[in-house]
């Protein structure tokens, strides 16, 4: 059976489902009054940012494509320029599809938000369905396009290097999209919270606050467009790494078979997702994930039996999938609003902001252990399970565990995009004056969305972890093919140790650059909010007909994000090349090992600590520890403010950074072999 063609057909089915959900959501009614106008402001602001961001990134993509034509995989004067042109074309295609994932996500999210808010007047279940099916459009489109692109390129070229270039295009654009969107969303969120909740004591989405529209725009450009590009990148990177290892072993059919069946399982999962009238939306999201996992495990087992794929490889795939669930459960425990860590941090808030920060970071650090242990255990079990099959199969087992973790990514993205949609729904419901009952429903959906986002961020980080271990194996395979020598990671080798230390430092610098960008821009927006409250008569008092200048805050966030998004990502890429040209492939091997460990640790810490602070704030707002307006609430808002760039800017961008430097290393391996000082 031609499994690459089967993957293309399943991708086409995913596009059909996405189109059906898009039409279904679009036909839902929108409440009369200001709701539609608020929704249009958010949609307009999101697309304005995206247009500006992509204009800058188009220049970056053009420059990188030119460099690929000139130098990759080897300088064109030393080989065939046609191969270099193919790499550049694949890179551009990956970039375009990654950008398209963001456009699709923004398009549906800014339609679904006002419809989910309107549907909440009829109850929790209709509002949940509007939010979830809006998110499912993103899930189906992202996974369908990544699998479709990989299968088409393989059928046309049978060259894993072309798929690596395609993956690099997706990863590099995702890196900048996630960083830019994260800076935008947290600039607005922090400024709105500090001036509104802490200083003035007004509600979260009070229309008097000039930053509230920018805050809602940020949910879309950061959590929808950015995360969509991020998981698009992880999915295609896992396929590319596995293909490099699988091709010499004649196992590429297995990749497309399991990838297509994973997408099919996700399609079944999103089509059957439901919640009862008084059901628990968080439990419904988790049920959908578990159902998809079960369907995937059964489908791949049956396919393995019928088509005689080795069951050891199936076992390695299932191990990766189970590790993804474990990481999700860990994130749920440390960030869920019904769990002990959130309650304990909320009680710590009664003693002041310092204890809020200390307790949150402590739990964030603890949460990294089970997640990293899960990634390590999955890689170890998969390696040992497939090692008896012969040379090369151990690393194929690790790459298949990454495929397994990402097999249900269609459902994961659907859950993730649900989060910002219902978050927006809560905001537009308050600004549209839909009443307390609607706010109560959207708050419940939003709390489930916060936990869902924390789980999916943990999942994305875990998936990146297994993917980059597979990419490390792919890098070693490329070096072996070029030199005939196996790269051994000996810590006593000074070149490897040098690379490892530099690699470990890069994620910390990268995260710091992004958070400093948020810090600088938030200060500018806070000053602008103060200016408007002080100079616009009647704004602070809420006088009828007096509105703030929302566009000014959107512009501050947009300009600041676009200015800050390039330097951090470029620093990581340049550092990889510098290490390679100084120490060669040995130093790069150490660099990747250090970067992976440091990057995953920081990403887990930031993602879980940020989610914990966010839900501790919501726990207090639900009436615990003094409720809204209490000293504990103000301390929790400060904790959430610190956690915002942790969980939505630096944390989720780190897993993309790790993937990007791994792909750069693989693509530039031939150059490092030819040119290095030591």
137 pLDDT exceeds 80?
Answer: yes
Tell me the C-alpha to C-alpha distance, in Å, between residue 4 and each of 256, 260, 373, 644: 6, 9, 34, 41
Q: What are phi and psi of 79, to 5 degrees?
A: -150, -145
Residue 454 is predicted with a pLDDT of: 67
Place of tokens 């990188």: 64
Kindly report, residue by residue over 550-591, the tens digit of the pLDDT: 889 989 998 888 888 789 989 999 999 999 999 999 999 999
Average pLDDT along the chain: 89
Q: Round to whole Å and give the CA distance between 461 and 476.
A: 22
Predicted confidence (pLDDT) at residue 457 exceeds the cutoff of 80: no
Question: What is the CA angle 563-172-379, rounded to 5?
Answer: 130
Taking residues 332-343, what's their average pLDDT? 87
What pLDDT, on the 0 to 100 scale, is given for residue 387? 96
> In this prediction, what percent of the chain has a pLDDT beyond 90?
47
* pTM for this entry: 0.89
Domains: count for the chain: 1
The stretch 662-670 carries a mean pLDDT of 89
The better pLDDT of the pair 161, 639 is held by 639
Contact 517, 612 (CB under 8 A): no
SS3 322: helix
What are the b/e assignments for 582-596, b being 16+ CB within 10 Å?
bbbbbbbbbbbbbbb
Distance, CA of 353 to CA of 428 (rounded, Å) = 29
Characterize 220-238 residue by residue with b for buried, 16 or more Cβ atoms within 10 angstroms of its Cβ, and e for exposed: bbbbbbbbbbbbbbbbbbb
Query: How much is the average pLDDT of 46-75?
Result: 88
With a cut of 90, say whether residue 440 has pLDDT above it. Answer: no
Q: What angle do CA 178, 138, 404 make, to 5 degrees?
A: 85
Closest C-alpha among 255, 376, 247, 237 to residue 665? 237
More confident residue, 300 or 560: 300
pLDDT in tens, 173-229: 888 888 888 898 889 888 888 887 777 777 767 888 888 888 888 878 877 877 777
Kindly tell me if the per-residue pLDDT of 498 is higher than 90.
Answer: yes
pLDDT tens digits for 302-319? 999 999 999 999 999 999
* Count of C-beta atoms within a 10 Å radius of residue 6: 18
Distant-in-sequence, close-in-space partners of 392: CB < 8 Å, separation ≥ 6: 245, 248, 249, 477
Q: What is the dihedral of CA 314, 235, 227, 12, to 10 degrees?
A: -100
The percent of residues above 70 in pLDDT, for the chain, comes to: 99
412 CB-side CA count, 13 A:
33
Helix (H) or strand (E) holding 634: helix 631-645
Does 327 score more than 80 pLDDT? yes
Range of the domain at 221: 3-674
CB 266 within 8 A of CB 292: yes
Report CA-CA distances (Å) from 175 to 158, 569, 653, 659: 27, 7, 6, 9
Size (the chain), residues: 678
Banded model confidence at residue 269, pLDDT cuts 50, 70, 90:
very high
Q: Rounded mean pLDDT of 445-450?
A: 79
Q: Cβ of 178: how many Cβ atoms within 10 Å?
A: 33
Q: Which of 499, 511, 472 is nearest to 659 (CA)?
A: 472
Predicted pLDDT of residue 609: 94
* Digit-coded pLDDT (tens) for 522-547: 999 999 999 998 899 988 887 888 88
């Amino acid at each position: 059976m031609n499994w690459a063609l089967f993957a293309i057909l399943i991708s086409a089915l995913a596009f059909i489902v996405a189109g059906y959900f898009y039409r279904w959501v679009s036909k839902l009614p929108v409440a009369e009054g200001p709701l539609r106008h608020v929704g249009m402001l958010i949609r307009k602001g999101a697309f304005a940012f995206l247009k500006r961001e992509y204009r800058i990134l188009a220049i970056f993509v053009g420059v990188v494509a030119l460099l690929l034509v000139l130098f990759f995989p080897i300088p064109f004067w030393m080989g065939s320029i046609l191969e270099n042109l193919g790499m550049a074309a694949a890179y551009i295609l990956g970039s375009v599809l990654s950008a398209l994932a963001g456009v699709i996500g923004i398009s549906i999210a800014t339609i679904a938000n006002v419809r989910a808010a309107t549907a909440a007047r009829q109850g929790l279940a209709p509002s949940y369905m509007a939010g979830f099916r809006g998110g499912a459009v993103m899930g189906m489109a992202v996974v369908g396009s990544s699998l479709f692109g990989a299968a088409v390129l393989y059928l046309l070229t049978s060259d894993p290097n072309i798929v690596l270039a395609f993956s690099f295009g997706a990863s590099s654009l995702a890196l900048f999209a996630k960083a830019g969107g994260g800076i935008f969303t947290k600039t607005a969120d922090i400024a709105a919270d500090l001036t509104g909740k802490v200083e003035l004591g007004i509600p979260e989405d009070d229309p008097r606050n000039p930053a509230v529209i920018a805050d809602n725009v940020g949910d879309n450009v950061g959590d929808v467009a950015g995360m969509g590009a991020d998981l698009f990148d992880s999915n295609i990177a896992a396929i590319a790494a596995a293909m490099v290892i699988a091709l010499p072993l004649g196992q590429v059919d297995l990749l497309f078979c399991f990838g297509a069946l994973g997408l099919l399982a996700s399609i079944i999962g999103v089509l059957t997702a439901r919640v009862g009238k008084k059901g628990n939306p968080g439990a419904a999201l988790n049920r959908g994930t578990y159902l998809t996992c079960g369907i995937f495990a059964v489908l791949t087992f049956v396919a393995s039996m019928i088509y005689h794929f080795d069951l050891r490889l199936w076992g390695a795939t299932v191990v990766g999938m189970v590790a993804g669930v474990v990481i999700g459960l860990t994130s749920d425990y440390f960030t869920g609003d019904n769990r002990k860590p959130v309650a304990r941090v909320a009680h710590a808030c009664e003693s002041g902001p310092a204890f809020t920060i200390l307790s949150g970071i402590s739990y964030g650090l603890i949460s990294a252990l089970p997640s990293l242990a899960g990634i390590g255990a999955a890689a170890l079990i998969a390696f040992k399970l497939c090692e008896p099959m012969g040379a090369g199969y151990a690393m194929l087992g690790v790459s298949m565990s990454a495929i397994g973790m990402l097999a249900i990514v269609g459902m994961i993205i659907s859950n993730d995009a649900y989060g910002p949609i219902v978050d927006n729904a809560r905001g537009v419901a308050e600004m549209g004056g839909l009443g307390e009952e609607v706010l109560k429903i959207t708050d419940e959906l939003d709390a489930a969305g916060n936990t869902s986002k924390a789980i999916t961020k943990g999942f994305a980080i875990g998936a990146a972890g297994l993917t980059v271990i597979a990419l490390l194996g792919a890098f070693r395979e490329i070096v072996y093919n070029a030199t005939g020598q196996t790269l051994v990671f000996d810590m006593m080798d000074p070149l490897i140790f040098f690379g490892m230390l530099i690699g470990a430092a890069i994620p910390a610098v990268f995260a710091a650059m992004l958070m400093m960008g948020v810090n600088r821009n938030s200060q500018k927006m806070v000053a602008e909010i103060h200016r408007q409250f002080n100079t616009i008569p009647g704004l602070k008092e809420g006088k009828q007909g007096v509105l703030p200048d929302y566009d000014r805050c959107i512009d501050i966030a947009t300009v600041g994000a676009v200015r800050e998004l390039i330097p951090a990502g470029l620093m990581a890429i340049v550092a990889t090349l510098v290490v390679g040209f100084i120490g060669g492939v040995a130093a790069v091997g150490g660099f990747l090992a250090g970067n992976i460990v440091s990057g995953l640790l920081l990403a887990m810490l930031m993602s879980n600590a940020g989610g914990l602070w966010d839900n501790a704030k919501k726990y207090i707002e639900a009436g615990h520890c003094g409720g809204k307006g209490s000293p504990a609430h103000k301390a929790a808002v400060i904790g959430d403010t610190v956690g915002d760039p942790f969980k939505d800017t630096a944390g989720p961008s780190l897993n993309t950074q790790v993937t990007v430097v791994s792909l750069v290393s693989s693509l530039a391996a031939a150059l490092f072999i030819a040119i290095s000082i030591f």
